[in-house]
Amino acid sequence: MDDSLSQLRAEALTHLDGLYNLARWLVRDPAEAEDLVQETFLRALRGFHQFRAGTNLRAWLFQILRNTFFTQYRKRGREAEAVDPDVLDTMAIRLGPASGAGSPSGASSGTLSVDLRAALEHLPDDYRAVVVLADVEDFTMTEVADIMGCPVGTVKSRLFRARAILQELLRDYVR
Amino acid sequence: MDCPEARDHLAELARNRLEPEVAEIVRAHAAGCATCADALQVEVGLHALIREQAPRYSAPPALRARVQAALRTAERPMASGWRAWLLLHPWQASGLAGALAALVAVWVATGWLAADPASRLVSLAVEEHVEYAQEAMHRPPPNPAELLAALRSRAGFALGPLFPGDTEAPLMSTTTAELRGKPAVALVYRNGPGRYTTLLLMPGADVAIPAEDRLAIETFKPHRRVTSGKQVLFWKQNDLACLLVSDLDGPATAAFFLKIRKAA
């Protein structure tokens, strides 16, 4: 059997939770997240010949999921979210202390997990994906760049801007 | 090292992934720069907070079981796509056209319009299509008027006149699909035992038909290619981009193309 298919079959399930986790953060709806993960595995099986055995299967699967989301799900009625730096700077300012909008709901819930979830969901898709990949899934910046299909500098820039937004939203928990 | 350079390294520094000598330089800069020191502190704090406290969602058991089954059956390279699709979409296992359209949609969206590696997917789609189509052969052809009416109501874009099939080539099934985030539809005709033709339609405003390899069929000139012995024609009519994949030979595909093209 093809080596890459062997590796896919042997390892793929170990990445299922991580893929589903990212899918949930991207599409939020559990059923849609399942669809996204299923489509990811379908594409992986169909395209496994493009995968070089012995290389980073985990990053490759996340890349497929990310591509599937951005080419299909987000355009399926989901509003394209702004990634214009100026817009985000404005957002960060708007969410800052001067505006009085301290959290997505306008006020801290006082519960870290609730506020953290709300803050992450408040980020634009591209930023949330970078944060989940870099912080939760612990990918390197280079791997995140490969997965997101953009330069490393763009990843760092998105992460930095996401930090600015999160810092404001979570200022009760971080300084 | 200036602030932009230091900032460029903060994320990796917070994760202890910098070369020691680079880490030392960044730390030295931060020691003398309150802005970068603050940014580093925020990076370290938020990274730890999110890694430790952000909710992690686990895959539902049913999803795990489906993926496991799909991986297990992925033995034969040329069959893996279809088998996996059917396993992952058990509620549509009888939806031959749906499966076909999904595959066709993927290879068009990911490859053929842009580059050639999708030729492999073309042959996969058609060969597997024939295999499953043969299983569906025992079904009588459905009512084409009902099929087309249902398709028009679900398409999401104007389809214009469509070939409803005839006694030589009855319309077997229709389905909606998605191409590059846009709606598309697929129609599957049976040209004889084990011989099928699929017509895929999508809004064509921003779809370019390759200028080379045009085949003159009466007054029409669709782009033509042959992949794994299957005929593929690609053209525009009205505002639609049209793809036809057929098990027929060249002349028969051209003749069938005329039926479809003239119906529009």
Is the model's pLDDT at A82 over the cut of 90?
Answer: no
pLDDT at B130: 52
Instruction: Output the pLDDT for position B25.
Output: 93
CB count within 10 Å of CB B151 equals 20
Residue A50 in contact with residue B77, Cβ under 8 Å?
no
Q: Which residue among B41, B53, B81 places its CB closest to the CB of A112?
A: B53
Which candidate, A96, A11, A101, A104, places its Cα nearest to that of A60? A11
Reported confidence tier of residue A43, pLDDT bands at 50, 70, 90:
confident
Q: What is the DSSP letter of A175?
A: -
Look at residue B93 and give its three-state secondary structure: coil
pLDDT at position A2, please? 61
Instruction: Give strand ranges (E) for B102-239.
Output: 171-179, 182-192, 195-203, 223-227, 230-237
Helices (H), A69-151: 85-94, 112-122, 125-131, 141-148
Separation CA B192–CA B14 (nearest Å): 65
| A113-146 residue pLDDT tens | 788 999 999 999 889 999 999 999 999 999 999 8
How much is the pLDDT for B104? 52
Chain B partners within 8 Å of A163 (Cβ): 39, 42-43, 46
Q: Is B72 part of the contact surface with chain A (CB cutoff 8 Å)?
A: yes
* Cβ-based contacts of A120 with chain B (< 8 Å): 50, 54
Q: Report which secondary-structure segment, H or E, holds A101.
A: none
> Taking the model in full, what pTM does it have?
0.55
Asked whether residue A94 carries a pLDDT value surpassing 50, the answer given is no
Q: How many CB atoms lie within 10 A of CB B22?
A: 13
Count, residues in chain A:
175
Q: Is B55 helix (H, G, I), strand (E, B) or coil?
A: coil
ipTM over 0.95: no
- Report whether A79 contacts A85 (CB < 8 A): no
Cβ atoms of B245 and B222 closer than 8 Å: no
Could you tell me if B86 and A148 are in contact, meaning their C-beta atoms sit under 8 angstroms apart?
A: no
The pLDDT score that the predictor gives to residue B181 is 58
Q: Please, how many CA atoms are within 13 Å of residue B73, restricted to the half-sphere of its CB?
A: 17
Longest dimension (CA), chain A: 62
Report pLDDT for B1.
Answer: 80
Tell me: pLDDT of A97 over 80.
no
By the 8 A CB rule, do B132 and B96 touch?
Answer: yes
* Interchain pair B89, A72: CB under 8 A: no
Q: Which of B39, B46, B55 sits opposite A117 (nearest CB)?
A: B55
Give the start-to-end residue ranges of the domains of chain B: 3-50, 61-113, 117-263
Residues of B in contact with A174 (CB under 8 A): 42, 45-46, 49
Note the pLDDT of residue B59. 92
User: What is the helix (H) or strand (E) element at residue B158, kind and residue range?
Assistant: none
SS3 A141: helix
Mean local confidence (pLDDT), A43-71: 84
Interface A-B: count of C-beta contacts within 8 A: 147
Instruction: Please give, rounded to a whole number of angstroms, the shortest distance from the CA of B17 to a CA of chain A.
Output: 8
Distance CA B99, CA B97 (A): 5
Q: Tell me the residue type at A73.
A: Y
Which is higher by pLDDT, A63 or B70?
A63
Q: Which amino acid is at A17?
A: D
- Tell me whether residues B53 and A113 touch, CB distance under 8 A: yes
Q: What is the model's pLDDT at position A73?
A: 67
Best mutation site among A131, A135, A168 for testing chain B: the one with the most B CBs within 10 Å?
A: A135
Q: What is the CATH number of domain B117-263?
A: 3.30.200.100
Binned average pLDDT, 10 residues per bin, chain B of 264 residues: 87 89 92 91 90 91 86 54 48 47 47 38 46 50 84 87 92 72 79 81 82 89 80 88 88 95 88
Q: Do A113 and B80 touch (CB under 8 A)?
A: no
Vertex B108 angle, CA B137 and B69, to 5° = 60
**pLDDT-based confidence at A35, cuts 50/70/90?**
confident
Mutant choice from B12, B43, B56, B87 vs A, greatest count of A C-beta within 10 A: B56
B203 touches chain A (CB under 8 A): no
Please list, in sequence order, all residues whose beta carbon lies within 8 angstroms of the beta carbon of residue B19, skipping any fewer than 6 positions away. Answer: none
- Does any CB of chain A come closer than 8 Å to the CB of residue B103? yes
Bridge partners (DSSP) of residue B224 are B233
pLDDT at B121: 36
What percentage of chain A has pLDDT greater than the value 70? 77
Buried b (16+ CB within 10 A) or exposed e, B88-112: bbeeeeeebbbbbbbbbbbbbbbbb
Among partner residues A38, A120, A175, which is closest to B66 by beta-carbon distance? Answer: A38
For residue B13, count other CB atoms closer than 10 A to its CB.
19
> B203 vs A5, which has greater pLDDT?
B203
| Residue A90 confidence (pLDDT) | 42
Taking CA atoms, B105 is separated from A72, A154, B185, in Å, by 11, 30, 9
Identify the pLDDT of residue B215: 92
Q: Inform me whether the pLDDT recorded for A81 exceeds 60.
A: no
Contact call for B51 and A140, based on CB within 8 A? no
